[in-house]
Chains A and B, each alone.
Chain A
């Protein structure tokens, strides 16, 4: 009984603590759905926050803008956030952040100093995408209102996911992967980019949602390749597909090849299994890339998909040749244009040939330029869909 009394006493006195802690009703918070960074004209950081307008979340939402874009500047990222809070009625809450966008300019100068905040700030320690813009500023991209959903960030993420899962030319990179790659002295960071074309000013108004014509076209664009946190260049869509094939990141992809009668054959490539093996013989490193996948012939402009061995062999050979060429071209581009290991083979050397890598770490990029890389593509035709 005494224990029970003490328990009750503790419980009652705990009532005095009511109101402490990070307690706040969910509807009194301001949700930042995306954060972007543009180059500041002053010597500092420029943060763009896309803020969800709580008034559109009610069951019968009024015709008002679903998101608000707020810009602030500061000496650090947190400084920007604090300045941002001055402009808003309630406390911002980062825990529901879904995307971080770096503009092309910022990416070229380096994203290292930005990322530190996202690692250490407790509200930002969860999973969200990191992307870059191409040809436009982060502010322009984030202020585009979508016809399809009230929340533009959701549309961007869905687009990115579709491009990654169904077409293979994009990459979803989460903050943890970005930070890990930036911190380690091996591996390579690549980020998908998003671009917008058309009338960007008109795209910022909700009036465009009343028109059938999409005024600003938002696209998933090339993949940006980084070195030491700085954007070094772009991979086109074909190159991106080849890049993802090398890294076993393809769920599905499409490829069109030439038929024997001047026709075109479209194929669905799926169930990809790629493997990278590295080898050091006589201090000579080499890389082997084995790519296996299934092929489903989905369209033939000659209107006939033949169920013949010769036809299958032809399709297989053409796909093999085309993809091998794409990958080899990409390797050549890496060696001659980027002049460093854009594929992150260094990670494999670090893991499987640590002694060699430790010894040659400093001249790795030089060695890479002459490193033999063997590509072996094995397509396997699934049953024909007639």
Chain B
């Protein structure tokens, strides 16, 4: 017992710096020991010594693979069987000087074989599901691609839903995501530049852009920021958002993420770049403008008139989501003359028996609505139905019947809530939801004056924002004529594509 504890403690944890640049030993046994020690004798690590024999010679090999991350059938039947068979049938002795080369080119003639010599690389390949073969007497190893872990199939997008258009969404698999883009854009100018970021997670990241359309300066800046990223681990693409963002502090999202390949393609054509992070189904797009967050893929698939109407509807939804409760409070508490007299009578009648003051009433109702929507998002589906019943009955009926809140207030908060839900981007929708509380607070304290000041501060903030150097409210402030074709209105597709035919993408329009 005592011994066991001791051995457990003895097993020292190696910091990244200790192995990342360490060259392999030339003895296979030592290498095997080092790797298994580094990985802590993990049960899924298959590492052993193999001896290949033929009439001319005998070679000791080290073999390592992660079970579960690799395709075991491929490893056994294709790599090991072939290697053994070929070696046995050799009719000459392999010279030591070209042993590694011979192994790589003749004995293992597979598509993806690399020769490396550092432990950092070895562990990286191993943990990516590759098969590692070390040859006794050499300080290098062969990494053979044999990834074969279970991955989710390409499914329908769940968050960026649209009725028309492609039903494919990105998955957690890096290669699949890149291939989804390639499939749609058979263009040799599509560049995919990979990085490995995160000292602990060694995450694969791809910077995707179209050469010629994307601004060189912008790419240099992104490259600089990605290389400078000192991040220990990346769990999701959202982590990168933090490290890539501008110096400005803002509650508004400055990088757009989507799970739709067609949205990414659209963005690339407009001169933006995309970042794919291994393990995350959300692909980042930047630079973005505010109007991008109000865009749904469907806008472009519908007729111009319908697309424009939908876009305007969404802009109104944002206005409702941000301003409705504050505007209602201004009227109810400060300036009732702004409404026609019949409306004033109606609101007064509804509020007559409500015990709470209007400000408390609206804050509580808004908060209750937010609680319900948030619970609805996180709940398992089976419970969700029960939740909507509770929400509808408790808030909708009982509260009004008990005169705790007025029905007008319920209408205002519901329309407001629906407004937030109409925003296609989840992150923007959440942001708007919380910004409205600030505006509401300003309106409650200072009335219409406070409301106007809050809106003014909000506008100034939005105008001052930059996403990778591009103004956040671009087509509107500063005014960009070409950008206007795809902002409040959606111009006919012909015009939009003609605009994008120019050498520079739409986002790079000089203003």
B344 touches A96 (CB 8 A): yes
Q: For residue B149, which residues in chain A have a CB less than 8 angstroms away from its CB?
A: none
A57 touches B334 (CB 8 A): no
A96 touches B336 (CB 8 A): yes
Partner of B348, one of A31, A33, A98: A31
Q: B333 in the interface, Cβ–Cβ < 8 Å?
A: yes
A11 touches B334 (CB 8 A): no
Q: Which of B249, B341, B344 has the most CB of A within 10 A?
A: B341
B446 touches A14 (CB 8 A): yes
B341 touches A98 (CB 8 A): yes
B336 touches A29 (CB 8 A): yes
B358 touches A25 (CB 8 A): yes
B447 touches A57 (CB 8 A): no
Q: For residue A26, which residues in chain B have a CB less than 8 angstroms away from its CB?
A: 331-333, 336, 344, 347-348, 351, 358
Q: A89 in the interface, Cβ–Cβ < 8 Å?
A: no
Q: Measured between C-beta atoms, what is the minimum distance from B492 to chain A in Å?
A: 42
A17 touches B336 (CB 8 A): no
Which residues between 52 and 91 of chain A lie within 8 Å of chain B, taking CB atoms? 52, 54-59, 61
List the B residue with the shortest CB-CB distance to A153.
B341
> A139 vs B270: C-alpha distance in the bound complex, in angstroms?
72
A interface, size bucket: 20 to 34
Q: For residue B438, which residues in chain A have a CB less than 8 angstroms away from its CB?
A: 11
B336 touches A27 (CB 8 A): no
Q: For residue A17, which residues in chain B have a CB less than 8 angstroms away from its CB?
A: 445-446
Q: A23 in the interface, Cβ–Cβ < 8 Å?
A: yes
B333 touches A23 (CB 8 A): yes
Q: A1 in the interface, Cβ–Cβ < 8 Å?
A: yes
Which residues between 299 and 330 of chain B lie within 8 Å of chain A, taking CB atoms? none
Q: A22-B334, A26-B348 in contact; A4/B249 too (CB < 8 A)?
A: yes
Q: For residue B347, which residues in chain A have a CB less than 8 angstroms away from its CB?
A: 26
Q: Measured between C-beta atoms, what is the minimum distance from B246 to chain A in Å?
A: 14
> A281 vs B337: C-alpha distance in the bound complex, in angstroms?
51
Q: A21 in the interface, Cβ–Cβ < 8 Å?
A: yes
Q: B349 in the interface, Cβ–Cβ < 8 Å?
A: yes
Bitwise, B152-195 to A at CB < 8 A (1) or not (0) is 00000000000000000000000000000000000000000000
B341 touches A57 (CB 8 A): no
Q: B346 in the interface, Cβ–Cβ < 8 Å?
A: yes
Q: Measured between C-beta atoms, what is the minimum distance from A94 to chain B in Å?
A: 9
B349 touches A57 (CB 8 A): yes
- The residues of A with any CB-CB pair to B shorter than 8 Å are 1, 4, 7, 11, 14-15, 17-18, 21-27, 29, 31, 33, 52, 54-59, 61, 93, 95-96, 98, 126, 151, 154
Can you spell out 12 A-B residue pairs with CB atoms less than 8 angstroms apart?
Answer: A14-B445, A17-B445, A17-B446, A21-B334, A22-B447, A26-B332, A26-B333, A26-B344, A26-B348, A54-B348, A57-B349, A58-B352
Apart from A17-B446, A26-B333: 9 A-B pairs, beta carbons within 8 A: A18-B445, A25-B358, A26-B336, A26-B348, A26-B351, A31-B344, A31-B345, A59-B350, A95-B336
Q: Which 6 A-B pairs have the closest CB atoms?
A: A57-B349, A27-B351, A95-B337, A26-B332, A58-B349, A27-B352
